[in-house]
Structure 1
Amino acid sequence: MKSIDKVLSTFYTGDNKLKLLDQRYLPRWIVVVLDLFLCAISLALVYLILLGTPVFFSDHVSLPTQAIFLLGVNFLFFVVFKTYSGIIRHSTFTDILKLAFSSISTFVTLIIFNTIYGATTGKYVYTLTLLIMYMFLSFSFLLLFRVAVKESYQILKKGAKGILKKRVAIIGADDQNISLAKALTTESNLPFKLVGFLTEKFDSKRYKLLGKPVIPIKDNFTETVQNYNIQGVIVISDSLGVKEKNKIVNNCLENNVEVFNVPSVERWNTKADINSQIKPIQIEDLLERDPICIENEAIANDLVGKTVLVTGGAGSIGSEIVRQIALFSPKQVVILDQAESALHELELYLAEKFPTLNFITELANISNMYRLEQLFTKYNFDMVYHAAAYKHVPLIERNPHEAVYVNILGTVNLAVLSVSNKIDKFVMISTDKAVNPTNVMGASKRVAEMYVQSLQRKEVIHTRFITTRFGNVLGSNGSVIPHFRRQIAAGGPVTVTHKDIIRYFMTIPEACQLVLQAGTMGSGGEIFVFDMGKPIKILDMAERMIKLSGLEPYEDINIDITGLRPGEKLYEELLNDTSTSLPTHHPKIMISEVPSVSFDIINVKVKKIIKTATRFKDNEVVLLLKDLVPEYISENSRFEALDIEKDS
Structure 2
Amino acid sequence: MVKHNIEIEDLIGQSSICTDCSNTSQLIEGKTIFVTGGAGSIGSEIVLQIGKYNPKKVVVIDQSETAIHNLSLIIEKEYNSLNFYPVVGDIRSKKTLKHLFKKFKPDIVYHCAAYKHVPIMENNPSEAVLVNIMGTKILADLSVKYKTERFVLISTDKAVNPSSVMGATKRIAEMYLQFLYNSSNKKDRTKFITTRFGNVLGSNGSVFFLFKKQIEEGGPITITHPDITRYFITIPEASQLVIEASSMGTNNETYIFNMGKAIKIIDFAKKMIHLSGFIPEKDIEIKLIGLRLGEKLFEELLNSKSTTSSTSHKKIMLVKENNDKFDYAEKEIDEIIEAAKEYKSNKIVKKIKKLVPEYKSLNSYY
TM-score by length of 1: 0.55
Change (3 A) 1:621 1:388: same
SS in 1 for 2:252: coil
How many residue pairs are counted as aligned between the two chains? 362
Q: Output aligned runs, 1:270-289, within 5 Å.
A: 280-288=5-13
Match in the other structure for 1:562: 289
What is the CA distance between 1:554 and its match in structure 2? 1.0
Structure 2 residue 71 is matched with structure 1 residue 346: yes
Percent of residue pairs bearing the same amino acid type = 53
Q: Output aligned runs, 1:567-586, within 5 Å.
A: 567-586=294-313
**Structure 2 unaligned spans of 5+:** none
Say if 1:451 and 1:602, in contact at 8 Å, map to a contact too.
yes
What is the CA distance between 1:545 and its match in structure 2? 0.7
Match in the other structure for 1:402: 127
SS in 1 for 2:176: helix
Structure 2 residue 157 is matched with structure 1 residue 418: no
Choose the corresponding residue for 2:348, options 621, 630, 634.
Answer: 621
AA matched with 2:175: M
Distance 2:6 2:216 in 1: 16
Change (3 A) 1:569 1:519: same
SS in 2 for 1:526: strand
What is the CA distance between 1:436 and its match in structure 2? 0.5
Change (3 A) 1:447 1:596: farther
AA matched with 1:542: A
Say if 1:292 and 1:588, in contact at 8 Å, map to a contact too.
no
AA matched with 1:322: V
Match in the other structure for 2:61: 336
Structure 2 residue 100 is matched with structure 1 residue 375: yes
Distance 2:34 2:8 in 1: 33
AA matched with 2:220: P
Distance 1:400 1:636 in 2: 15
Deviations 1:505-561 (A, max 9, x none): 111100011001000111121110111111111101111111111111112111101
Change (3 A) 1:283 1:289: closer
Distance 2:14 2:69 in 1: 34
Match in the other structure for 1:501: 228
Choose the corresponding residue for 2:253, options 516, 520, 526.
Answer: 526
Q: Output aligned runs, 1:162-311, within 5 Å.
A: 280-288=5-13, 291=16, 293=18, 295-311=20-36
AA matched with 1:325: I
Change (3 A) 1:343 1:449: same
Match in the other structure for 2:339: 612
The root-mean-square deviation of aligned C-alpha atoms, in Å, is: 1.4
AA matched with 2:183: K
Deviations 1:555-588 (A, max 9, x none): 2111101000000001111101111112112111
Deviations 1:316-358 (A, max 9, x none): 0000000001011111100000111111111112112221111
Distance 2:362 2:287 in 1: 21
Choose the corresponding residue for 2:320, options 583, 593, 602.
Answer: 593
Distance 1:291 1:437 in 2: 29
Say if 1:372 and 1:414, in contact at 8 Å, map to a contact too.
yes
TM-score by length of 2: 0.96
Match in the other structure for 1:325: 50
Distance 1:342 1:350 in 2: 12
Match in the other structure for 1:355: 80
Deviations 1:71-108 (A, max 9, x none): xxxxxxxxxxxxxxxxxxxxxxxxxxxxxxxxxxxxxx
Match in the other structure for 1:630: 357
Choose the corresponding residue for 2:156, options 431, 443, 455.
Answer: 431
Change (3 A) 1:285 1:374: same
Choose the corresponding residue for 2:116, options 391, 415, 437.
Answer: 391
Say if 2:149 and 2:190, in contact at 8 Å, map to a contact too.
yes
Deviations 1:391-439 (A, max 9, x none): 0000000000101000000000000000000000111100000001000
AA matched with 1:385: Y
Runs of 4+, deviation exceeding 6 Å: none
Distance 2:273 2:72 in 1: 35
Deviations 1:35-66 (A, max 9, x none): xxxxxxxxxxxxxxxxxxxxxxxxxxxxxxxx
Distance 2:323 2:206 in 1: 31
What is the CA distance between 1:455 and its match in structure 2? 1.1
Choose the corresponding residue for 2:208, options 468, 481, 485.
Answer: 481
The answer to which structure has the higher helix fraction is 1
Say if 1:503 and 1:537, in contact at 8 Å, map to a contact too.
yes
Change (3 A) 1:631 1:426: same
AA matched with 2:113: A
Change (3 A) 1:294 1:406: farther
Say if 1:401 and 1:616, in contact at 8 Å, map to a contact too.
yes
Distance 1:413 1:289 in 2: 37
Choose the corresponding residue for 1:444, options 166, 169, 180.
Answer: 169
AA matched with 1:350: I
SS in 1 for 2:304: coil
Match in the other structure for 2:182: 457
Distance 1:297 1:286 in 2: 31
Say if 1:466 and 1:522, in contact at 8 Å, map to a contact too.
yes
What is the CA distance between 1:453 and its match in structure 2? 1.4
SS in 2 for 1:456: helix
Larger RCO (CA within 8 A; separation ≥ 6): 2
Distance 1:596 1:624 in 2: 22
What is the CA distance between 1:286 and its match in structure 2? 3.7
